[in-house]
Structure 1
Amino acid sequence: MNSHTPVLQTTRITRAIALTEHLSPAWFAMVMGWGGLTLAWLRATEVLGETALGLGLVGAIFSLLVFSLLCIACLTRMSAHPNAVAADMRHPVRHAFMATLPISIMLLATIGVHLFWNASRALNTVLTFVWCVGSILEIAATVWVISRWLNSADKGGFQWSTFTPVFFIPVVGNALAPLAGVPIGLEAWACAQLGVGLLLWPVLQTLLFVRMAQAGPLPTRMSASLFITIAPPSIIGLDLLALHAPLPAVWVMWGIGAFFLALSLTQLESIREQAFGLGHWAMSFPMAAITALTFRMSQEHGGSWLQMPATLLLAVTSLLILGLTLGTWRGLRHGQLLIAEK
């Protein structure tokens, strides 16, 4: 080690801290994508066996790793760049991404419940605590996001021009509740939280259609966000299965999710024409959600015809998320992601 090594290390640390200024909460979409893919692989174990379980374990470890790194980076950002954090909270679009943190916590807890529930009493307590923290934070984030819309336009209130599918994110978080809430014995609370999602989803979906009629199509750079519309019906369908709801109601949710998948696929050409950015991760979790639901429905009465489409969806979603991960790694190495938003 030469005399320049400490100086070089200090320079790298200083540069890394400076880059966190542009680390918006939207980065937790990576955890959502990998967490959703993990759940999809775990849903596929009854069809694909131990291989699916093994890949689910790998996905769980990677999801936890990414979450941990992002939490450290966000804490650094809050300390070094508090004004940047405040700017995100005031932003007419980026503020909705604040809900991605509690969603990530709930997803990780849900994965833990699927893999390790009843392994030990201590672990059950930890998983329940983590899920409760994520659940409460998600409700708080939802109330905060929706309450902003009650303000006037000049104070960050609702505007047609800034309304995008990104505002569905809090809905998705609340809809996740029964996936782990039911197995851990908090069914009443989970159903109450699901009720928030059931209330907001059709309202936001209607507002999105009205927004397109009033203010025109989404900006080109937001094309990938249309995939977010797949997530609510897909997650609600999984909820209904967990709650042993009538199967026809689940098929309704699957049909709605499949429709929005077909609609979102019409944006692929527009998405391919854009330079890679964090916004592309908007495709990841919704694709994983519809994949998980399709696998579950392939195991239900009258759904055996979905086994091949479900397997194809799982392969496509896995390749998509691997591609997004590699694109993110390249973008970080080449300095194309942690930069000021244009």
Structure 2
Amino acid sequence: MNATTPNVRTPWAHHAIARLAHLSPAWFVLVMGWCGLAQAWLRATDVLGDMALGMSLVSGAFALLIFAILCVACLVRLNTHKTAVQVDLKHPVRHAFMATLPISLMLLSTLVAGLFWNVHPWLDQLLRTTWLLGSLLELAATVWVLGRWLRAKEQGGLQWATFTPVLFIPVVGNVLAPLGGVTMGFAPWATAQFGIGLLLWPVLQTLLIVRLVQAGPLPERMSPALFITVVPPSIIGLDMLQLNALMPVVWALWGVGLFFLMWAMTQLDTIRSQPFGMGHWGMSFPLAAFTTLTLRLSSAPEGTWLQLPATALLAITFLVILGLTLGTWRGLRAGTLLVAEG
């Protein structure tokens, strides 16, 4: 019976497990996108009321479902495709996506805290533990990613041709810290971790501009990644509000985020010309982050003029993330995703 047991699972199970070899950590960007959308809907409750709250709950539940599925799939992959995991760790671009797992932990715990904080002590403790785990793993991922820069290029060190906005992802994780950490009672640590991201953001932004001059434009399939440049100023703006900073600083950061959004949108024709792939998800969390900051500023006395644009941004972000999700579902069914890179 034992000899025939594997055959019971064929062909579907073995085919599915084989495809997991191509499940890179970049798939956790789906969790980031849906968490960001949930936060944007939550912020819109001041304007849209219970409808927005309901959409936030649905979006957050969907993000949690995706996270659970991906965690199980990654454990199976780690057990059955160790070589593929090692390849991801050594890849000049994909290695930075390792930070998306701890970022997802931080985003999920921050979102649930925004919805259910002080509902029950055990839930608060669970959220604290989850957030702290994500925070520490994110810091470790940041040190590991940037530690590669100290190597020779032959050993996977920094090279202009492989420097892309994907390397901003660890920075994003660090600047996320105050959004949940302050509420959960980790304000000193969250602010310290925020400082790491605040240091690294302008460094990486400068390096990106130098890379574009030295090595030319990004590959066309990487064009959605340019939207990642929108995230640091947007999240830092939300952090500044959380830390009670001066409003002119927040407005300046919103302006920087707007500029980078407009800069990234110059690549829309190139993005539309590319076959759908996981790279398109690079637009999701940046749009959600900028939308959330815009919604937050629209509730300020001097920001009432932003209420209509903020609502329009929320609708666009929702449609984009919904479209990306449907595209992902179609790609999985058609077998065009979870395949070797061309």
Q: TM-score if structure 1 supplies the norm length?
A: 0.98
Residue of structure 2 in register with 1:238 after alignment = 238
Residue of structure 1 in register with 2:51 after alignment = 51
1:294 aligns with 2:294: yes
Q: What is the CA–CA distance in structure 1 between the aligned matches of 2:8 and 2:339, rounded to whole Å? A: 22
> What SS does the aligned partner of 1:18 have?
helix
Q: What letter corresponds to residue 339 of structure 1 in structure 2?
A: V
Q: Shift of residue 11 of structure 1?
A: 2.3
Residue of structure 2 in register with 1:304 after alignment = 304
1:178 aligns with 2:146: no
Root-mean-square deviation (CA, aligned residues, Å) is 1.2
Q: What letter corresponds to residue 215 of structure 2 in structure 1?
A: A
1:6–1:164 CA distance, 2 compared to 1 (3 A): closer
> What SS does the aligned partner of 2:119 have?
coil
Q: What is the CA–CA distance in structure 2 between the aligned matches of 1:298 and 1:8, rounded to whole Å? A: 58
1:273 aligns with 2:286: no
CA deviations over 1:171-218 (Å, ceiling 9, x no partner): 000010000001111100000000010000000000000000111111
Q: What letter corresponds to residue 51 of structure 1 in structure 2?
A: M
Q: Shift of residue 97 of structure 1?
A: 0.3
CA deviations over 1:138-162 (Å, ceiling 9, x no partner): 0000000000011000000000000
Residue of structure 2 in register with 1:211 after alignment = 211
Q: What letter corresponds to residue 179 of structure 1 in structure 2?
A: L
Residue of structure 2 in register with 1:12 after alignment = 12
| Sequence identity percentage | 63
Q: What is the CA–CA distance in structure 1 between the aligned matches of 2:49 and 2:5, rounded to whole Å? A: 50
Q: Shift of residue 301 of structure 1?
A: 2.5
1:326 aligns with 2:340: no
1:139 aligns with 2:135: no
> What SS does the aligned partner of 2:167 have?
helix
Q: What is the CA–CA distance in structure 1 between the aligned matches of 2:68 and 2:12, rounded to whole Å? A: 20
> What SS does the aligned partner of 1:302 have?
helix
Q: What is the CA–CA distance in structure 2 between the aligned matches of 1:101 and 1:5, rounded to whole Å? A: 34
1:161 aligns with 2:161: yes
Residue of structure 2 in register with 1:106 after alignment = 106
Q: Shift of residue 5 of structure 1?
A: 12
> What SS does the aligned partner of 1:293 have?
helix
Unaligned runs of 5+ in 1: none
Residue of structure 1 in register with 2:220 after alignment = 220
Q: Shift of residue 299 of structure 1?
A: 0.7
Q: What is the CA–CA distance in structure 2 between the aligned matches of 1:341 and 1:151, rounded to whole Å? A: 26
Q: Shift of residue 8 of structure 1?
A: 5.8
Residue of structure 2 in register with 1:251 after alignment = 251
1:5–1:98 CA distance, 2 compared to 1 (3 A): closer
Structure 1 stretch displaced more, 7-16 or 292-301: 7-16
Q: What is the CA–CA distance in structure 2 between the aligned matches of 1:168 and 1:6, rounded to whole Å? A: 43
Q: What is the CA–CA distance in structure 2 between the aligned matches of 1:300 and 1:85, rounded to whole Å? A: 46
Q: What is the CA–CA distance in structure 2 between the aligned matches of 1:36 and 1:62, rounded to whole Å? A: 12
> What SS does the aligned partner of 2:183 have?
coil
CA deviations over 1:40-85 (Å, ceiling 9, x no partner): 0001111111000000000010000000000000000000000000
Q: What is the CA–CA distance in structure 1 between the aligned matches of 2:250 and 2:13, rounded to whole Å? A: 50
Q: What is the CA–CA distance in structure 1 between the aligned matches of 2:169 and 2:284, rounded to whole Å? A: 13
Q: What letter corresponds to residue 197 of structure 2 in structure 1?
A: G
Q: Shift of residue 10 of structure 1?
A: 3.5
CA deviations over 1:264-323 (Å, ceiling 9, x no partner): 110000000000000000000000000000000001131000001100000000000000
Unaligned runs of 5+ in 2: none
Q: What is the CA–CA distance in structure 2 between the aligned matches of 1:122 and 1:154, rounded to whole Å? A: 49
Residue of structure 1 in register with 2:116 after alignment = 116
Q: Shift of residue 16 of structure 1?
A: 1.1
